[in-house]
Amino acid sequence: MKRMTGAQILCESLVKEGVEVIFGFPGGAVLPLYDTLPQYPQLRHILVRHEQGAAHAADGYARATGKVGVCLATSGPGATNLVTGIANAHLDSVPMVAITGQVARPFIGKDAFQEVDITGITLPITKHNYLVLDAGSLAKVVKESFYLARSGRPGPVLIDIPRDVFIEQAEFHYPSKVDLPGYKPTLQGHPAQIKKAGKLINEASRPLIIAGRGVIISGACDELKQLAETAQIPVVTTLLGIGCFPETNVLNYGMLGMHGMAYANMAVDAAEVIIAIGMRFDDRATAKVSGFAPHARIIHIDVDPAEIGKNVRVDVPIVGDVKGVLNVLNKLITPAGRGDWIQQLDNWRKEHPSTIIRDSEGLLPQHVIRKIYEVTQGEAIIVTGVGQNQMWAAQHYWYDKPNSLISSGGLGTMGFELPAAMGAKVGRPDSTVWCVAGDGGFQMTVQELATIVQEKVAVKIAVINNGYLGMVRQWQELFYRKRYVATPLTCPDLVKLGEAYGILGLRVKRKEEVVPAIEQAMKHQGPFLIDFVVEPEENVYPMVPPGASLAEVLEEREKEAKVLSDSAKLPMSNI
């Protein structure tokens, strides 16, 4: 066996795991590791401009590729700067390994320079974390970390490594298997439960599938399609489930939830059996839980037993990997027509067309998204910010492939868009990647433009510039009597800003300029930035007001008056 330094053992182990890219930022505690990195040219290190960018880039990379994303930071402030990105990955079940330097072992617990207890801080937002106290255990820890990050319900794992462990010598042996007796995810669903589910589905005249990101993670898109098409079951998806079932398929009725399609929410309200697959009944998807799917028996398939019954009552729980469970379930399903039910949904879709863009002289944000869809022919990967831009990107682009919409769902992290888009483009260099940013969110992580230029990442950026923290302004308009406190915001001249970074850019203020600008961005070889100056007070519809149930969906501006007059009655706790 070969003796190596801890830093070499770490690099060797990363190579064994197939890691190709590390998003990182150096500092004292990780200097021995950085000094070793040039010995491993297989590991491309991308120097971000802020560690939050490293975590989001690793996240975007992981979602776009299905591989584990890796980020690296020094101790203390480097490690704490990763925290938002780790929490983001945790809530959206994204496989990630975050490596942090720690002060040398003799200094731990002494409030040493740049010491924080990062394993303590990240305990609730990681799937697992490690403080490595000897170089001899590093290989095993890396092996376990990657296994934990990608298996079962994926998530982030943090490895904290003291500075002197990087320097310490030990023998390198990479384990071929993990031995984690306390961690055995249940992958196979219980056959009796699956049988019960099959019977319920076969007997139902109004079944509905709600599909989430678990379908994508499990690689079960084909199995889902088979279930939906064989039994003619309409499909609605969560925000993160978008793309798991082609949005251009006739059985796809769009996203449900707070800003979901009105007809998707109506379908949930009327359904007799709900088959919830790889989703976790997030409150933005269910709206008021007591009013959720009042007529339905609920079948819930998820790999994480902690999700069963957490938010919503479940009649048939099935714990297991979605792909395997659907494979078994599909054998029990009898082909059916369900013409009346499908007709009913089609009628609702006609009567409540949720993606019609109203006529307007001004430049509407929805129009921008729609044109990006048309010019990219639905083939791009769209990475969004959080807020109105995110909802318009979800509503007005149609996603036919898994992982073609990358968005911060659970944590709702503004500033995710730019670094995550960078990570996605690094992972999928042959795909077109559009970052749809809010003017607020863009300014939170704008420094990554420098990384994009230095690393030649040809991401296309559309800033939806409404001059507001738009989603918060919308809530103030509807629920706080139009008092726009702390939501109007200025922005530097984005075209000049791009130029300062070395990125070509355009400003678009009029409708007819939209398509030529998008086409120019697509033709340009490198990164490109478009500042879309849109109608400042455009709102996102449909909208289920907070505290209301899915059936109480508002479809357009005329209904606002009603919300305003009712707003005193709304529970404000979740606003």
Ligand X SMILES: Cc1ncc(C[n+]2csc(CCOP(=O)(O)OP(=O)(O)O)c2C)c(N)n1
Site residues for ligand X per CB under 6 A: 385-389, 412-415, 438-441, 464, 466, 468-472
> What is the DSSP pairing of strand 381-384 with strand 316-319?
unpaired
Residue number with CB closer to Mg ion (75 or 465)? 465
Nearer to ligand X, 246 or 467 (CB): 467
Min dist. Cβ of residue 323 to ligand X (A): 32
Q: Does residue 5 touch Mg ion according to CB under 5 A?
A: no
Q: Is 540:259 a contact under the CB 8 Å cutoff?
A: yes
Residue 131 or 478 with smaller CB distance to ligand X: 478
Q: What is the DSSP string of 451-477?
A: HHHHTT---EEEEEE-SB-HHHHHHHH
Nearer to ligand X, 231 or 414 (CB): 414
Q: What is the CA radius of gyration of the chain?
A: 24
463 - beta bridge partners? 437, 531
Please name the helix (run of DSSP H) or strand (run of DSSP E) that holds residue 23, with its range, or none: strand 21-24
Residue 154 interacts with, from ligand X, Mg ion, none (CB under 5-8 Å by kind): none
Retrieve residue 24's tokens. 């990182």
| Residues found in the chain | 575
Which residue in 439, 448, 531, 538 binds Mg ion (CB under 5 A)?
A: 439
Residue showing the smallest CB distance to ligand X in the complex: 438
Mark the segment that binds Mg ion (CB under 5 A) among 10-18, 397-405, 411-419, 462-470: 462-470
In the structure, how many helices (H) and strands (E) does the chain have?
23, 20
Question: To 10 degrees, the CA torsion angle through 307, 312, 315, 317?
Answer: -10
Which CB atom, from 164 or from 535, has the smaller least distance to Mg ion? 535
Burial class, 69, CB count within 10 angstroms (exposed 0-12 / middle 13-18 / buried 19+):
buried
Among 151, 466, 474, 487, binds Mg ion (CB under 5 A): 466
Q: Shortest gap between Cβ of 388 and ligand X (angstroms)?
A: 4
How far apart are the C-alpha atoms of 552 and 244, rounded to whole Å? 27
Q: Residue ranges of the alpha helices (H) in 190-282?
A: 191-203, 213-217, 221-231, 262-270
Is residue 224 packed enough to be buried (19+ CB in 10 Å), middle (13-18) or exposed (0-12)? buried
Minimum gap (Å) between residue 365 Cβ and ligand X: 7
The entry of ligand X, Mg ion, none near residue 160 (CB within 5 to 8 angstroms by kind) is none
Q: Are 29 and 105 in contact (CB under 8 A)?
A: no
- Rounded to a whole number of angstroms, the minimum distance from the CB of residue 387 to ligand X is 2
* CB-nearer residue toward ligand X: 45 or 56: 56
DSSP for 219-239, written as a single string = T-HHHHHHHHHHHT--EEE-T
Part in contact with Mg ion (CB under 5 A); list of ranges 86-94, 172-180, 365-373, 470-478? 470-478
Residue 386 binding partner per list Mg ion, ligand X, none, with a CB distance cut-off of 5 to 8 Å that depends on partner kind: ligand X
443 binds Mg ion (CB under 5 A): no
- Report the alpha-carbon distance of residue 460 to residue 74 in Å, rounded: 30
For the bound state, the minimum distance from the C-beta of residue 76 to ligand X, rounded and expressed in Å, comes to 21
Phi, psi angles (nearest 5°) of residue 463: -90, 120
Residue among 13 and 445 whose Cβ is closer to Mg ion? 445
Residue 413's binding partner among ligand X, Mg ion, none (Cβ under 5 to 8 angstroms by kind) is ligand X
Nearer to ligand X, 68 or 471 (CB): 471
In the complex, what is the shortest distance from the CB of residue 144 to ligand X, in angstroms, rounded to a whole number?
A: 31
Per CB under 5 A, which region of 81-89, 272-280, 439-447, 533-541 contacts Mg ion? 439-447
Among the residue ranges 254-262, 405-413, 434-442, 454-462, the one whose residues contact Mg ion (CB under 5 A): 434-442
CB 544 within 8 A of CB 574: no
Using CB under 5 A as the binding rule, whether residue 477 contacts Mg ion is answered as no
Cβ proximity to Mg ion, 269 vs 439, nearer residue:
439
**Residue carrying the six token digits 């984005």:** 494
For position 527 contacting Mg ion by CB under 5 A, the verdict is no
- CA-to-CA distance for 216 and 103, rounded, in angstroms? 39
Q: Which is nearer to ligand X, 438 or 546 (CB)?
A: 438
Provide, rounded to whole angstroms, the least separation between the CB of residue 442 and ligand X: 7
Other CB atoms within a 10 A radius of the CB of residue 272 amount to 16
In the complex, minimum distance from the CB of residue 162 to ligand X, in angstroms, rounded to a whole number? 31
Nearest to residue 544, comparing CAs of 251, 218, 291, 302? 291
Residue with tokens 């998806």: 237
Closest contact distance (angstroms) between CB of 368 and ligand X is 11
Residues near Mg ion, by CB under 5 A: 438-440, 466, 470
